Amino acid sequence: MAITTGIKGFNDILPNQVEKWQLIEATARRVFGIYGFSEIRVPIMEKTELFARSIGDATDIVEKEMYSFTDKGENLVTLRPEGTAGVMRAFIEHKLQVLDPVTKLYYLGPMFRYERPQKGRSRQFHQIGAEVVGVTNPRVDAQLLVMLCHFFTDLGLTEPTLQINSLGCPDCRPAYRASLKGFLLERLERLCDDCRRRMETNPLRALDCKVAGCGETTADAPSVLDHLCQGCDDHFVAVRRHLEATATPFTINSRMVRGLDYYTRTTFELVTGLLGAQSAVAAGGRYDGLIQELGGPALPGIGFAMGVERVALLLADRETGRSPDLFIAAHGEAAGDEAFRLMIQLQRQGFWVEIDYEGKSLKSQMRRADKLKARFTLIIGEEELLTASGMLKAMATGVQVASPLDPSLLAEALSCS
């Protein structure tokens, strides 16, 4: 394959798209900041074992989607397929719990999963995620969800809707799982091949199978929510109560399934119908056992991650708002030197100034000034050079006035109007 072709599933984000990305990132930083979150930056590679332990050995991510390899020191390393594992590793390694009993972190950056690319999915993709460590109280679950909704509202995206569920805990989930498995076993012949396979790996998945027959078959399957232990039930009820108290719209989806093993209790997704097969724009949940499982203190955690590509897809393309303050059109070599000198001086004062670098005709330069949507154009020719005075033209009105070739006076002219 030609070396000028990128790797499958690894996409360039061109300048016109980057504007959107910057808006998403800036909104996240701003909104998450309001809720007291601090950014953490962790490496994009970790020991393979970390992901296997946290995400779960039997998950598809670990089984077949990781970019894993042996480095030159014979270490088994993996390009992060998600963010939580690395952040929790850093939390434990640096004992962040001693700084504050409540740790609120957010991160953003590329993740890697070897999957077949399709709409809203690529092999290198980007997530923005947030995690809270140290709080069991359901108020923090609600707050995290409110923050997530706040973020989307600020971006002008009201379409994705919040769905929540509870997955129970290690005390009550096994019983539910057994109950569901029993239910499915009785109806084995009505399930699709995939669901039969899921029986062993993860029976919960049968609940969101897209095959029509399976949907009907599992319509009256036992619900997790009926099998929650007292603690989990109380927790879930409280989360719902707090969401209602803060007027945060949500629906309960007891059939929602998560792909990572570490989730407990509250799980949630922000779903949209506008992204083809990819309905989840952001998703997450509580992971009360993860930190201890990784060898850290017994602290609870909850977090979410959103797919930046998916958010960007939902955002309408926006016009590039930026345009130069001034274009200096020069006629002749000496004028070109003067234009260059003025440009640098004005740039040092913070103005965006453009010039022509190739000695093009005045007409060409004016055309370019227009195309760049420069607010002003300063025209310098031989005559102007003699009097040290150029013509300053306001492009919108076409009005032009003589203006001394003086950076501070020009700066003044650019600042007003």
> Which residues within the stretch 128-187 sit at the binding site for RNA (CB under 7 A)?
none
Enter the tokens of residue 69: 């390899």
Determine which residue in the list 25, 115, 233, 293 makes contact with RNA, applying CB under 7 A. 115
338 counts as binding RNA under rule CB under 7 A: no
Query: Is residue 147 packed enough to be buried (19+ CB in 10 Å), middle (13-18) or exposed (0-12)?
Result: buried
Which H helix or E strand runs over 280? strand 280-286
- Interface with RNA in residues 208-247 (CB under 7 A): 209-211
**334 vs 385: CA distance, rounded Å:** 8
Question: Could you say whether residue 301 binds RNA (CB under 7 A)?
Answer: no
Cα separations (Å) of 221 from 180, 207, 218, 251?
Answer: 7, 8, 5, 19
Confirm or reject binding of residue 119 to RNA (CB under 7 A): yes
Q: Is 161 or 400 the residue whose CB approaches RNA more closely?
A: 400
Q: Residue 185: which of 219, 227, 217, 226 has the closest Cα?
A: 217
| Alpha carbon distance 57, 78 (integer Å) | 14
Q: In this chain, which of 282, 342, 355, 410 binds RNA, going by CB under 7 A? A: 282
Our CB check for RNA shows the closer of 8 and 318 to be 8
Question: Interface residues for RNA in 52-111 (CB under 7 A)?
Answer: 59-61, 65, 82
State in angstroms the smallest separation of the CB of 368 from RNA: 6
| 230-245 vs 138-154: helix crossing angle, rounded to 10 | 40
Query: Under a CB-based contact definition with an 8 Å cutoff, are residues 56 and 124 in contact?
Result: no
The answer to whether the CB of 141 falls within 8 A of the CB of 246 is: no
Q: Which residue from 198, 227, 235, 255 is in contact with RNA, where contact means CB under 7 A?
A: 198
DSSP annotation of 218: T
- Based on CB atoms, which residue is closest to RNA, 185 or 245? 185
Residue 113 in contact with RNA, rule: CB under 7 A: yes
Report, in Å, the least distance between residue 397 CB and RNA.
7
Please select the residue that binds RNA; options are 70, 118, 153, 415, rule is CB under 7 A. Answer: 118
Binding RNA (rule: CB under 7 A), the pick from 121, 173, 227, 235 is 121
Q: CA-to-CA distance for 93 and 296, rounded, in angstroms?
A: 8
Identify which of residues 135 and 380 has a Cβ nearer to RNA in the complex.
Answer: 380
Binding residues for RNA restricted to 361-380, rule: CB under 7 A: 361-364, 366-371, 377, 379-380
Residues 377-396, mask of contacts with RNA (x by CB under 7 A): x-xxxxxx------x-x-xx
What token pair was written down for 320? 């590039």
**Binding residue for RNA (CB under 7 A) from 108, 140, 306, 413?**
306
User: What's the min distance (Å) between Cβ of 124 and RNA?
Assistant: 9
> How far is residue 189 CA from its own chain's centroid?
41
